[in-house]
Structure 1
Amino acid sequence: MAPDDVEAQRRRWRDLIDERLPAAAAAHPDWPVSRNHCFARILLDNACGGPWRESVAPPAWVNMPPERLALALSLGEAVLAGRQDLAVLNHRSLLWRRKRPVPAPPARLPGDGFGLRRWRLADDAPFAALCADPEVMRFFPAPKTARESQAEARALDRRFEEDGFGPWALETPEGFSGFVGCWRPARPLPFGPLLGRETGFVEIGWRLARHAWGRGFAVRGARLALDDVFSRCALTEVVAYTADVNAPSRRVMERLGMTEIGGFDHPGLPEGHPLRPHRLYRLEAADVLDGGGPRACRLR
C-alpha cells in the first residue's frame, strides 16, 4: 500500500473510532460499549483473532498491518450498517482476554443428515472396530487393540471437561461412525519454528469408519466443530497435520480453507519411517471473519 493510502486508512480509522461509532452509540442503548477505546479493543481484537497486543505493538492504528486494519475498518462499518452484531464481537474479545468464562459445550451439534455428540460407553465396540481396521489406520503406525481404543475414547471425551471442547463422536444413519473435532496435542510437537511460538496449539482432526467415507462427513463435521470453537470458545486459530502421503486428509484440510505452512518430522516415528514426514496446516479465526461476521460455514 502506498504511503498516502496508508495515511488515508489511518485517518478513516481515527474518524470511525473517535467520532462515528461513539456518535452512533447514542442511538443504540443496546450496544455493550460506547467509548472510543472500547470500540477500538473490540474491532482490533477481532481483526487479529485474539488480544491485539499479542501481535501488534501500540499504538495499534500505526503498527497494525494495513490488511488487518482494513479488516477492523470493515467490521466497524458493518456494525454501523447493522450487518454485524457488536455484542457478538465484544463477547469474542472478552473471551479471548479471559474476562468471561467459556460456555459449557452443548450435548450435540446438529448437521444435515448427521450430528456431532458427546461420547457414550456404547461407542466402545464400534470405535474399537474402526481402530482395528487396517484401511482406516493405514496412515497410522499400526492398528489399535480394543484396550488401546477404549483408553483413547475415554481420553478424547475427557478433553471436553479439561478444555471446554474436544473431538465429537460422529453420528450418522448407521450410528457411531468415528470422531471429528478439536483438541490440544498431548505430546510436544515441533511446530514452534513454523508458527512462531512454542505453546498454545489446538488441532482439528477426524477418524471415520469406512462406511462413512466419501460422503462429506469429515468436511461437514469439521465445519461444525470449527464454528463451535471459533464462536463459543473464541479460539484464535487451529492447526492440522498429517503424513505427507495422506492425500485424503490433506484434501479435507484444503477444502476447509486451511493453509499449508510447512513440513516437519513427527517425533513419535523413527528416522526413515514412511509416515515420519508430516505437513502442517493452519486456519486463523481472523481469516474466517468478514464484514458480515464468521464465515466458517462458507469455506470452500
Structure 2
Amino acid sequence: MRAPRLVLPRGNLLDLRVAAPATAPTAAPASDPQARWRDLVDRRLPEAARARPDWPARLDQCFARILLDNACGGPWRESVGAPAWANLPPERLGLAIELGEAVLAGRADLDLLNRRSLLWRGRGRAPAAPDRLVASGGLLLRRWQRGDDAPFADLNADPAVMAHFPSLRSRAESLNEARAFDRRFAADGFGPWAVEEAGRFVGFVGALRMMRPMPFPGGERPGAGVEIGWRLARTAWGRGIATRGARAVLADLFERCGVPAVVAYTAEGNGASRRVMERLGMRPDGTFAHPAIPADHPLSRHILYRMDARDLREPDLPGGSA
C-alpha cells in the first residue's frame, strides 16, 4: 500500500488533509472521533451524494459547514478555532458526527440543516420573529442582550440551578450558549427567550428544535421535533415564572409558528420541572436514557412529556412553585 500523501485543503475548514490511499478505504475506528469525522465528510458523505441529486451539498467542505454550524448553533468559527475537527469539544464533535450519520441513514433533512446554516451566515430570508412576548402578570420574554452575559454565567455556575445537569458551565460555555440561543430565532423563528422580571434578567424560557437524535418516537429525526424548556436563577423560583413564561411560549409556538406538538424532558429526580410540565397540561410518556449522558450516570434516566396544540390549557389561578 502506498503511504498517504499530504495535500493542501480546497476549502476553509481543514488546515491539512490526508489523501485517500489508492486501495479501497476502510471505516474509521469508532474509538477515534476525529478520524470518524474526517472519514464522514471527506469520503462517506461525498460518495453518498453521487446517488442523491436532491441533496444541496456535494463537496466535503459544504458537508462540514452544514454539520458543524448545526452542532455549534451558529457559524462554527464564532465558537471554535480552525481546524474545527481538532478543536471542537468532544461533545460538539460527537453531535456533528451524529447529524452526519443521521443524514446518511435518511433520518435527517439535509435541506433543513443547510437552510439553517445559510441563514446564520446571512444568506436567505430568516423567519420573522417578534422581539418580545408578554406573559401573564407582566412577565417579559425578550431577545437576548449582551447585558445578560454575566447573570447568565452566574446562573450556570450555581450548583443549585444546575443540580440536574451533568456539570456546571464555565463563563466561556455560557457565552457560547447565550449566543447560540439567540441565533435560534434567526434560523427557526423561535428559540429560548430571555426572561426579564422588574428590569432584571432571571433566566430563560423557550423552545428549540431538537438537533440531537433522541431515543423516543418523534425524536429520531434531528430538527423535526420541538422541545420546550426553562432555566431560572434561584431568586426566580417559587413564583410561577416558569409556568407563566411557558404558557406564553406555547401559545406563540402553536399559533404564530404553527408547531403542532412539543415535548419536554428532564431527569427523573427533577420534581420541580416535572410539576411545571404537569401544570401546563403535558402528558408523561415514558422514560429514556439521555444519549449525551453516560448510561451509569445518576442523571441518565429522563422522563418524557408531550403536548399537542389542542391540549393548551387556560391559565390557572396565580400560585405554584415554579
Task: Determine the structure 1 residue equivalent to 2:240.
Answer: 216
C-alpha distance in structure 2 between counterparts of 1:273 and 1:282, whole Å: 25
Which residue does the alignment assign to 1:92?
none
Tell me the percent identity.
57
What is residue 131 of structure 1 aligned with on the other side?
Answer: 156
Amino acid at match of 2:279: R
For the 8 Å contact 1:113–1:173, the answer to whether it is kept is no
Indicate whether 1:235 and 2:262 are aligned: no
Shift of 1:191: 1.8
SS at match of 2:138: coil
Count of residues in Structure 1 that have an aligned counterpart in Structure 2: 191
CA RMSD of aligned residues (A): 1.9
Matched, 1:268 2:298: no
Q: 2:16 is matched with which residue? A: none
| Matches for 1:186-201 after TM superposition, within 5 Å | 186-192=211-217, 195=218, 198=221, 200-201=224-225
CA distance in 2, matches of 1:103, 1:174: 28
Choose between structure 1 and 2: higher helix proportion. Answer: 1
* Counterpart secondary structure, 1:211: helix
- Check if 1:142 corresponds to 2:167: yes
- Which stretch has the larger CA shift, 159-168 or 106-115? 106-115
Whole-Å separation in 2 of the counterparts to 1:208 and 1:148: 17
Query: Which range is displaced more, 166-175 or 251-260?
Result: 166-175
Aligned to 2:183: 158
Contact in 1 for aligned 2:264/2:277 (Cα 8 Å): yes
The one-letter code matched in structure 2 to 1:234 is G
Whole-angstrom distance in 1 between the partners of 2:284 and 2:157: 30
Which gives a bigger RCO, structure 1 or 2 (Cα 8 Å, sep 6+)? 1
2:105 maps to none
CA apart distance, 1:106: 1.1
Structure 1 residue 271: deviation in Å?
A: 1.9
Aligned: 1:167 with 2:187 = no
**Residue 9 of structure 2 aligns with which residue?**
none
Q: 1:153 deviation in Å?
A: 0.3
Q: Unpaired segments of 5 or more residues in structure 2?
A: 1-124, 318-322
Map 1:54-133 onto structure 2 (within 5 A).
104-111=128-135, 112-133=137-158
TM-score normalised to structure 2 length: 0.57
Equivalents in 1 of 2:200, 2:300: separation in Å? 33
Corresponding position of 1:184: 209
The CA deviation at 1:298 is 3.7
CA distance in 2, matches of 1:173, 1:202: 29
Describe the shift of the 1:248–1:134 C-alpha distance in structure 2 as closer, same or farther (beyond 3 A): same
CA distance in 2, matches of 1:196, 1:172: 33
Query: Cα deviation per residue 1:248-290 (whole Å; 9 max; x = unaligned)?
Result: 10000000000001110011111221100001100001333xx
CA contact (8 A) 1:242 1:278 kept: yes
Determine if contact 2:213/2:221 at 8 Å carries over to the other structure: no
How much does 1:188 deviate?
A: 1.6
TM-score in terms of structure 1 length: 0.61
SS in 2 for 1:262: strand
Shift of 1:185: 1.8
